[in-house]
Amino acid sequence: MSQLVPPHGSPELKPLLLDPAAAREETQRAAKLKKVPMTSRETGDLLMMGIGAFTPLEGFMGAEDWKSTCDTLSLASRKGAFWPIPITLSATEALAAAVALGEEVALWDSETNEFMGTMKVTEKYKIDKDRECKEVFKTKDPNHPGVQKVMEQGPVNLAGPVRVVSESFFPKEFAGIYQRPAEARKLFEERGWSTVAALQLRNPMHNSHAYLAWIAIEVCDGVYIHQLLGKLKPGDIPADVRVRAIDALVNKYFRRDRVIQGGYPMEMRYAGPREALLHAVFRQNYGCSHLIVGRDHAGVGNYYGPFDAQKIFGEVPAGALAIQPLSMDWTFYCYECGSMASMKTCPHESKAVIDDNGNYKGGARLLLSGTLLRKLMSEGKPVPAEFSKPEVIAVLKEYYDHLEEKVEVKLHNAATGGAR
């Protein structure tokens, strides 16, 4: 009997991906169905349902689930089961009008022009986009990348159960990293792990990430370094580069029997606290008992406080999640301590001063962040040795040296030691 936490909202995983023979039949049958294009975000969500990461969902949400998820973080269709972010499929008014209730449609990735699956349309409804943005992102600012995505959606949502036929390019392009929940659970069980801490990553691992992972290993059987492989915003480091950088660090600085790497196909929403809860839901499906929640988890810009993602877990009803947050304070390198430290452990409060050549000039705390690392690298400035391991910097330097068009990286409060 497995010692891992159970899947979320179900005694077993509910993958919606068809086996190869059934997928071939579905593909042939879909040739006669109306095509419904999906955005990259919607495709990522479909893939998460396909591999069982979004257990217990069986398809794109209807109006009542959309409303309940926005307002109460729960699924109306599943007796109030916890769910923090709407998983929906949008369409133009013309397409929605052309599709009848009860009709099956073919789902296509609009960017890759690949057939991904089918859906039986059980509902068509319009939503209040402002309301969704206010509840999920806590802002209606059109500059927020997640808000932009919602506002660009079609005006009508289509809902219904799905059948998934493809995992797109992820198994091939990210062979050895891309994992389904059942595969991760099998690896954990083979190692005899019962407690597993997930480390969410969309940036290469700098020393603060490594420090958090090492702490997690001290209190759990192992750490699952779980990388986002889906689409990012401009200026973020591509997944393939990040994978190489993390490999370089893990292979040299971690005990191999205490760490497993994996990747998942979802796209970032940058929804801060709400997205941290979604990260917890699907990490539970992957078999993780804990989620490392550090500074500005899943945040962007100055939209969220650096520890809002930790605070929101206090609002989750008792028993709604089996996975638990492993809340970590701000970590940094302290020149006075001569080591990595955190706000909870280090008594030296002065901020370290580094000149334009990367040389230490005084002070104690060198605050580390993925945003600051990207800014230094994109501008060709030296990175202090205390910031990240040389093997990581070498991978990133190669990427930035060959980058033809660079995006300006702007620092925000959570990346520079601003408001707590």
Of 28-37, 170-179, 332-341, 411-420, the poorest mean pLDDT is in 411-420
Domains belonging to the chain, first-starting first, are 20-168 (3.10.400.10), 170-264+270-420 (3.40.50.620)
- In sequence order, the β-bridge partners of residue 164 are 17, 117
* Given the residues 203, 207, 269, 283, the one annotated as active site: 203
For residue 354, name the pLDDT band (cuts at 50, 70, 90): confident
Q: In the prediction, which pLDDT does 415 show?
A: 46
Q: In the prediction, which pLDDT does 419 show?
A: 37
- Average pLDDT value for residue range 254-281: 96
- Average pLDDT value for residue range 235-250: 88
Of 86-95, 112-121, 243-252, 254-263, the poorest mean pLDDT is in 243-252
Q: In the prediction, which pLDDT does 408 show?
A: 58
* Given the residues 163, 202, 242, 283, the one annotated as active site: 202
pLDDT digits (tens, 9 = 90+) for 124-160: 999 999 999 999 999 999 999 999 999 999 999 999 9
- Global pTM reads 0.93
Is 203 among the catalytic positions? yes
Contacts of 270 (CB under 8 A, 6+ apart): 137, 144, 145, 146, 233, 298, 299, 300
* Dihedral pair phi/psi, residue 352, rounded to 5°: -65, 145
Residue 161: count of CB within 10 angstroms of its CB:
15
Rounded Cα distance, 413 and 4, in Å: 37
Is 202 among the catalytic positions? yes
* Dihedral pair phi/psi, residue 322, rounded to 5°: -85, -30
- Average pLDDT value for residue range 51-76: 98
Asked whether residue 404 carries a pLDDT value surpassing 80, the answer given is no
Residue 112: count of CB within 10 angstroms of its CB:
13
Which of 256, 255, 240 has its CA nearest to residue 204?
Answer: 240
Q: In the prediction, which pLDDT does 236 show?
A: 79
Is residue 154 within 8 A of residue 136, CB to CB? The reply is no
Rounded Cα distance, 283 and 197, in Å: 9
For residue 417, name the pLDDT band (cuts at 50, 70, 90): very low
Asked whether residue 200 carries a pLDDT value surpassing 50, the answer given is yes
- Average pLDDT value for residue range 269-297: 97
Cα angle 293, 297, 301; round to 5? 160
For residue 418, name the pLDDT band (cuts at 50, 70, 90): very low
Tokens of 156: 């009508």
Q: In the prediction, which pLDDT does 13 show?
A: 98
Average pLDDT for the chain: 93
Asked whether residue 420 carries a pLDDT value surpassing 50, the answer given is no
Asked whether residue 235 carries a pLDDT value surpassing 60, the answer given is yes
Is residue 105 within 8 A of residue 118, CB to CB? The reply is yes
Could you give the angle at which helices 145-152 and 129-136 cross, rounded to 10 degrees? 160
Q: In the prediction, which pLDDT does 155 show?
A: 97
- Average pLDDT value for residue range 294-318: 94
pLDDT digits (tens, 9 = 90+) for 94-119: 999 999 999 999 999 999 999 999 99
